[in-house]
């Protein structure tokens, strides 16, 4: 018997820059049947970034054309500057592959996704403290002093939205936080709703025997 296609779960991961969000997202997509959504952005690539790996880099004109064409599931101007967006095609890709999708997006984008897909599962990543966040931002030394101050202020604003998410993961210790974020996905996948099609299949295989 061919199993019914399963529902694609959408995991939204947000949190301030320096919370270790991207590392935890990488750990989440290490689970089988997980797909990382590749966002589009107008910000320039950092030296270590290759197009198509984490982002596709677009000009502002290209980005605006895609907004007009309705190609984004969500989009936002993050830090009031550059555009970031999740193409709808990422959701189609996950559905066609029968996989779950992980979106690493900001709070504004998360709100739009939850409006369109109310079953999307929000996970908020928190640093253990403001002092630790500041230490991590400085250790990265990728940003100027002004940029660090801006990121700390943004973090304060973003963290006020954590109550809109279903789960919170405090990234105090990477190994422990990895277990927590993976456990959330495993538990969500084990809920009766999303795994219903599979369970129906198992039950029907018993029909003749009962």
Q: Which residues bind ligand 5GP (CB under 6 A)?
A: 17, 39, 43, 74, 76, 78, 84-86, 104-106, 108-109
CB of 8 to ligand 5GP, least distance (A): 17
> Pairing mode, if any, of strands 34-36 and 100-104?
parallel
Rounded to 5 degrees, φ, ψ at 57 are -95, 120
Which residue lies nearer to ligand 5GP by CB, 78 or 185? 78
> What sign for the dihedral angle of Cα 110, 12, 94, 41?
positive
- For residues 110 and 92, what is the distance between their CA atoms, to the nearest angstrom? 18
CA 47 to chain centre: 23
Which residue lies nearer to ligand 5GP by CB, 6 or 152? 152
The CA radius of gyration of the chain, in Å to the nearest whole number, is 19
**Which residues does residue 77 pair with via DSSP β-bridges, in sequence order?**
83
Which residue lies nearer to ligand 5GP by CB, 56 or 195? 56
CB of 38 to ligand 5GP, least distance (A): 9
CB of 198 to ligand 5GP, least distance (A): 30
- When CB distances to ligand 5GP are compared, the closest residue is 109
Which residue lies nearer to ligand 5GP by CB, 63 or 100? 63
């Amino acid at each position: 018997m061919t199993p019914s296609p399963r529902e694609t779960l959408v995991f939204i991961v947000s949190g301030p820059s320096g919370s270790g969000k991207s590392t935890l997202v990488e750990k989440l997509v290490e689970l089988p049947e997980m797909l990382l959504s590749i966002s589009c952005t107008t910000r320039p690539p950092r030296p270590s970034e290759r197009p198509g790996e984490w982002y596709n880099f677009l000009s502002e004109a290209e980005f605006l054309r895609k907004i007009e064409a309705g190609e984004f599931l969500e989009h936002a101007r993050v830090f009031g500057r550059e555009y970031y967006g999740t193409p709808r095609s990422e959701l189609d890709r996950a559905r066609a592959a029968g996989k779950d999708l992980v979106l690493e997006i900001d709070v504004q984008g998360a709100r739009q996704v939850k409006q369109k897909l109310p079953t999307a599962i929000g996970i908020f990543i928190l640093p253990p403290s403001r002092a630790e966040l500041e230490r991590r931002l400085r250790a990265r030394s990728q940003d100027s002093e002004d940029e660090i101050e801006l990121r700390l202020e943004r973090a304060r604003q973003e963290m006020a939205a954590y109550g809109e998410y279903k789960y919170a993961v405090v990234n105090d210790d990477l190994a422990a936080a990895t277990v927590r974020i993976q456990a959330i996905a495993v538990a969500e996948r084990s809920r009766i709703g999303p795994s219903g099609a599979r369970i129906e299949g198992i039950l029907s295989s018993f029909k003749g025997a009962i």
